[in-house]
Structure 1
Amino acid sequence: GATSDRTQALPGSHYVINCIEVSGVECVRHDNDIPLKYGIDQCIGDTIGPGGLFKALRTVPVFLDICRDVERLCPDALVLNYTNPMNILCLAAARAVPSVKVVGLCHSVQHTGHVLAKRAGIAYDEMRWECAGINHLAWYTTLEHNGESLYPKLFEMARREFETGVVAEHETDRPDWVRKDMMLQFGAFITESSGHLSEYLPYYRKDAASRAKYAGPGYCGGSRFYASGWPNWRKTADETRMKMVSGELPVGWPRSWEYASWMIEGIEKDAPVRIHGNVMNHDGTGRGQLITNLPADGCVEVACLVDRNGVHPTRFGALPAQMAAVCDSNMRMFDLAATACVNRSVEAAVHALMLDPLTQAVCTPAQIRAMTLEMFEAERAFLPGYK
Structure 2
Amino acid sequence: MTRRPVTIAYIGGGSLNWATKLMADLAHDTALAAHVRLYDIDHAAAERNARIGTRFAEVSKGTPAVYRAVPSLQDALTGADVVVVSILPGEFDDMAHDVDIPARYGIKQAVGDTVGPGGFVRALRSIPMMLPIAEAIRDHAPKAWVCNLTNPMSVLTAAMYHAFPGIRLWGECHEVTKLRHQVAWIANQQAGAQHHSHRDVQVNVLGINHFTFVDAIGLDGRDMLPAYRAFADQHGNSGWSPRAVDPGDEHDLYFMDRSRVKFDMYRRFGIPAAAGDRHLAEFVPQAEYLDTAQDWDFALTPVSYRIRDRTEKRARASALAAGEGAPHADRSDEALVDQIKGLMGLGDFVSNVNLPNRGQMDGLPMGTIVETNALFSSLGVTPLVAGRLPDALHDIVRDHAARQTDLLAAVVENRWDDLFGLFRTDPLVAPLPTDTARLMFHEMVQATSHHLPRDLLREAS
TM-score by length of 1: 0.88
Q: Which residue of 2 aligns with 1:241?
A: 317
Contact kept, 8 Å, 1:139 with 1:189, in 2: the verdict is: yes
2:363 to 290, 293, 297: 293
Partners of 2:411 and 2:312 lie apart in 1 by: 31
2:266 to 183, 190, 213: 183
1:307 to 374, 377, 400: 377
Deviation at 1:356, TM superposition (A): 1.5
Contact kept, 8 Å, 1:155 with 1:184, in 2: the verdict is: no
Partners of 2:202 and 2:447 lie apart in 1 by: 48
Contact kept, 8 Å, 2:113 with 2:152, in 1: the verdict is: yes
Confirm whether residue 358 of structure 1 aligns to residue 432 of structure 2: no
Contact kept, 8 Å, 1:273 with 1:307, in 2: the verdict is: yes
Q: Which residue of 1 aligns with 2:447?
A: 378
Deviation at 1:172, TM superposition (A): 5.3
Confirm whether residue 339 of structure 1 aligns to residue 409 of structure 2: yes
Confirm whether residue 193 of structure 1 aligns to residue 260 of structure 2: no
Confirm whether residue 129 of structure 1 aligns to residue 196 of structure 2: no
Partners of 1:117 and 1:369 lie apart in 2 by: 47
Alignment of structure 1 residues 203-242 onto 2, 5 Å: 204=287, 208=291, 210-214=292-296, 216=297, 220=298, 222-223=299-300, 225-242=301-318
Partners of 1:50 and 1:256 lie apart in 2 by: 32
Partners of 2:263 and 2:221 lie apart in 1 by: 23
Q: Structure 1 residues 311 and 136 mapped into 2: Cα distance closer, same or farther (>3 Å)?
A: same
Confirm whether residue 142 of structure 1 aligns to residue 216 of structure 2: yes
Confirm whether residue 57 of structure 1 aligns to residue 124 of structure 2: yes
1:8 to 63, 75, 78: 75
SS at match of 1:133: strand
Alignment of structure 1 residues 34-49 onto 2, 5 Å: 34-49=101-116
Q: Which residue of 2 aligns with 1:286?
A: none
Partners of 1:242 and 1:189 lie apart in 2 by: 41
State the AA in 1 paired with 2:275: E
Partners of 1:207 and 1:82 lie apart in 2 by: 26
Partners of 1:197 and 1:206 lie apart in 2 by: 9
> Greater CA deviation, 47-56 or 322-331?
322-331
Confirm whether residue 116 of structure 1 aligns to residue 178 of structure 2: no
Deviation at 1:181, TM superposition (A): 0.6
> Greater CA deviation, 344-353 or 73-82?
344-353
Across the aligned residues of Structure 1 and Structure 2, the Cα RMSD in angstroms comes to 2.4
Confirm whether residue 264 of structure 1 aligns to residue 340 of structure 2: yes
Partners of 1:350 and 1:130 lie apart in 2 by: 36
Partners of 2:112 and 2:155 lie apart in 1 by: 14
Deviation at 1:150, TM superposition (A): 4.2
Deviation at 1:146, TM superposition (A): 7.1
Contact kept, 8 Å, 1:132 with 1:140, in 2: the verdict is: yes
Higher relative contact order (CA 8 A, sep 6+): 1
Q: Structure 1 residues 24 and 153 mapped into 2: Cα distance closer, same or farther (>3 Å)?
A: same
Q: Structure 1 residues 141 and 5 mapped into 2: Cα distance closer, same or farther (>3 Å)?
A: same
Confirm whether residue 104 of structure 1 aligns to residue 182 of structure 2: no
Partners of 1:172 and 1:201 lie apart in 2 by: 28
Partners of 1:56 and 1:253 lie apart in 2 by: 35
State the AA in 1 paired with 2:433: T
CA offset digits 1:37-85 (Å, max 9, x no partner):
2211011111111111121111121111111011011111111000111
Deviation at 1:152, TM superposition (A): 4.5
2:238 to 158, 166, 170: 166
Q: How many aligned residue pairs are there?
A: 371
Q: Structure 1 residues 368 and 172 mapped into 2: Cα distance closer, same or farther (>3 Å)?
A: farther
SS at match of 2:370: strand
Q: Structure 1 residues 80 and 127 mapped into 2: Cα distance closer, same or farther (>3 Å)?
A: closer
Q: Structure 1 residues 157 and 268 mapped into 2: Cα distance closer, same or farther (>3 Å)?
A: closer
Q: Structure 1 residues 377 and 168 mapped into 2: Cα distance closer, same or farther (>3 Å)?
A: closer
